[in-house]
Every structure is written in structure tokens, then in C-alpha cells.
């Protein structure tokens, strides 16, 4: 529909040869009038899943719907370790690996560039360590640190100190914390947990001194047992927890900022639309652009807090967290 409207407008405004050239440029077959190609070459993108169902399938379906027609060709490459199409993985211009298992399989089974999605920063770090020198890029689920802290500022406008809980994986984000906290006019009190026995002492310290707690995604401090301990201890101190998933909010955190598989699919569609070749997407870590916010209203009432609706919070985060 959009293409037909554009063609109709072009036919009225330009003479024959120029019309043909511009339409071909719009379809990516010729350089545009300014000398730049709208799409230098359509890529064959092999989509490899970690599992046949679940969030990976949601991502694949959303990407198929979001990708502009006539741009790149998505081809199903199967499931890692079960029914992966080795020939396709070997010839595709780009392997889109959905999940950590798919990324691991793609890096072992194919020499082609790999873009991993629905993975965390810690997964990418491990994959790069296991496969040095490979063409690996990623669009990670981890939210930018400043986005987390903007949520704190949007929900608690008078907050001054935020306790940030790190583990062996999330300590990778430590260098970026001071700048993110300064940008949100917050002081970040950071504590790294190295083993499960360190968790409660760290929580007591952070929750006593801070206005809120932010546990970053980590294998040690994000598991069900650790999350239960975090929520119970924060409830005892009457301090809110800001989390990184809707499930964490359902369990008792006050609020979270997170990206769904559908958000990631739309972000990947944007990356593919702007990429003329696979090298433009690999060896880079892309944060999620689209995100959502969840709030546990029962926790807010228990803490005596009045929290804006999710739409208003998203707008505040986009504007720097200020009300």
C-alpha cells in the first residue's frame, strides 16, 4: 500500500527515466539521487532459535512482522543442537542467533557473522571469551544503567542514594555506574556479592543507607532464591526494589524497566533496515531502544508511595527521569 502511494506520487512529479531510477533506488537496486544507496544489497539472514517455542518464537514472529518487505530475506535455520540447517548457516550473509544456546551453536557451526539477541551482557562476554576473533554482535536485554536510574528518579523524585547490588557477572557494568548516577543526580552505593553468604550483609548495608535498591541482572543475585532474600530483606527495611523484569515486579519489586521479545524484534528490524552489510552489525553491543515499565501497586501502597502510571513513567524516563 505504502509502495503504491509512493510510486503514484513519483509518477506525477518526475519524468520517465528519473522515475525508474528513483523507484529502483527505493527498492535498494540503485543508488539514490544523492549518491547513497537506500539498501546496498539484500542480505540472507538465517534465524537460529535456542528452543522451538517460547520467547524465541515470539521474537521470530514479531521480527517477521516488523521487517519491511523487500529488504532482507529471513530464513528459518531451525533449533540449535536439534534440527539446525548446517548448509544455511554456512551460506547466509548473517546468522541471527536467538538466545545463548543458538549463539554458541552458530559460532561453532558457521564462519559467518553472528548477531545474538535475547542474551545478556554476561552471555556476550562469555561467548567472546570462548570464541575470540569471531564476528559476534549482540542486541542485549540489559537496560542502559542510566535508564534504570531514571526510573528510580521518576518514581522517587526526592531520592538521593541508591544501593546498587552487583555480582560476579554484573560487575562488568561497574565502570559505567558513576557517570550514569551523576546524570540522574543520584549517589550510587555499590556492593559486589561474590558468594551467596555475602548477600544478606550486603543488603543490610545498602538498604540501611540508601533510599532504594537496584540489583542488576546477574547469575548470583538474580536467581529465585536470591530474589526472595532481596525482597524479604528490603520489605523489612521498608525500602523499594527496582528490578529488571515484569516477573520480579509481580514477585514484590516496586518497579522495573525491561524490554520484551517484541521490543527487541522491532529494534533488530531497525538495525537490519540501516545495515548495508553484516559487518555493520557485528562486533558491537547494541542496547535495547524500546522498553516498557511495570509497577506493583500493592507494594507502592504498602510503602506509602503514590506512583504515576506506566505511560507517564516511560515519558519521564525518555525525558531524563524528571517529573
Report whether 285 contacts 121 (CB < 8 A). yes
- Secondary-structure breakdown of the chain: helix, strand, coil percentages, each rounded to the nearest 5: 45, 20, 35
| pLDDT tens figures, 213-245 | 999 999 898 889 999 999 999 999 999 999 999
Please give the average per-residue pLDDT across 245-271, as a whole number.
97
| pLDDT tens figures, 57-85 | 999 999 999 998 877 899 999 999 888 99
- The H-or-E segment that residue 136 falls in is strand 136-140
Phi, psi dihedral angles at 261 (to 5 degrees) = -55, -35
The pTM assigned to this predicted structure is 0.83
Q: Strand pairing of 242-243 and 212-215?
A: unpaired
| pLDDT tens figures, 119-144 | 999 999 999 999 988 879 999 999 99
Report whether 94 contacts 45 (CB < 8 A). yes
Report whether 309 contacts 139 (CB < 8 A). no
On the question of pLDDT at 187 being above 90, the answer is yes
Domains located in the chain, CATH noted: 44-141+262-286 (3.40.50.1970), 145-258+292-318 (3.40.50.2300)
- The H-or-E segment that residue 188 falls in is strand 187-192
What's the sign of the alpha-carbon dihedral 181, 213, 315, 124? positive
What's the sign of the alpha-carbon dihedral 113, 119, 124, 130? negative
At residue 33, the pLDDT reads: 36
Report whether 191 contacts 209 (CB < 8 A). no
| pLDDT tens figures, 282-322 | 889 999 999 999 999 999 999 999 999 999 999 999 987 56
Q: How far apart are CA 24 and CA 20, in angstroms?
A: 6
At residue 261, the pLDDT reads: 97
Amino acid at each position: 500500500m505504502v509502495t503504491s502511494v509512493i510510486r503514484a506520487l513519483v509518477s506525477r512529479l518526475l519524468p520517465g527515466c528519473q522515475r525508474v531510477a528513483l523507484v529502483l533506488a527505493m527498492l535498494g537496486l540503485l543508488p539514490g539521487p544523492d549518491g547513497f544507496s537506500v539498501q546496498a544489497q539484500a542480505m540472507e539472514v538465517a534465524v537460529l532459535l535456542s528452543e522451538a517455542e517460547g520467547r524465541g518464537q515470539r521474537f521470530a514472529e514479531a521480527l517477521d512482522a516488523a521487517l519491511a518487505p523487500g529488504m532482507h530475506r529471513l530464513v528459518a535455520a531451525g533449533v540449535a543442537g536439534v534440527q539446525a540447517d548446517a548448509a544455511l548457516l554456512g551460506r547466509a550473509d548473517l546468522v541471527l542467533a536467538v538466545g545463548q544456546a543458538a549463539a554458541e551453536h552458530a559460532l561453532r557451526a558457521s564462519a559467518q557473522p553472528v548477531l545474538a539477541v535475547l542474551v545478556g551482557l554476561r552471555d556476550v562476554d562469555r561467548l567472546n571469551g570462548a570464541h575470540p576473533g569471531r564476528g559476534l554482535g549482540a542486541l542485549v536485554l540489559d537496560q542502559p544503567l542510566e535508564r534504570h536510574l531514571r526510573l528510580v528518579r521518576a518514581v522517587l523524585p526526592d531520592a538521593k542514594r541508591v544501593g546498587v547490588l552487583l555480582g560476579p557477572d554484573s560487575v562488568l557494568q561497574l565502570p559505567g555506574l558513576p557517570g550514569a548516577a551523576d546524570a540522574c543526580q543520584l549517589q550510587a552505593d555499590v556492593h559486589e556479592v561474590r558468594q551467596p553468604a555475602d548477600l544478606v550483609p550486603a543488603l543490610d548495608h545498602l538498604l540501611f543507607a540508601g533510599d532504594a535498591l537496584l540489583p542488576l541482572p546477574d547469575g548470583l543475585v538474580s536467581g529465585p532464591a536470591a530474589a526472595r532474600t532481596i525482597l524479604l530483606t528490603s520489605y523489612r527495611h521498608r525500602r523499594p526494589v527496582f528490578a529488571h523484569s515484569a516477573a520480579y515486579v509481580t514477585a514484590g519489586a516496586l518497579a522495573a524497566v525491561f524490554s520484551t521479545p517484541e521490543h527487541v524484534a522491532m529494534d533488530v528490524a531497525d538495525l537490519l533496515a540501516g545495515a548495508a552489510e553484516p559487518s555493520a552489525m557485528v562486533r558491537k553491543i547494541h542496547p535495547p531502544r524500546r522498553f516498557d515499565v511495570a509497577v506493583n501497586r500493592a507494594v507502592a501502597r504498602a510503602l506509602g508511595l503514590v506512583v504515576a502510571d506506566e505511560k507517564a513513567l516511560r515519558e519521564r524516563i525518555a525525558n531524563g527521569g524528571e517529573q
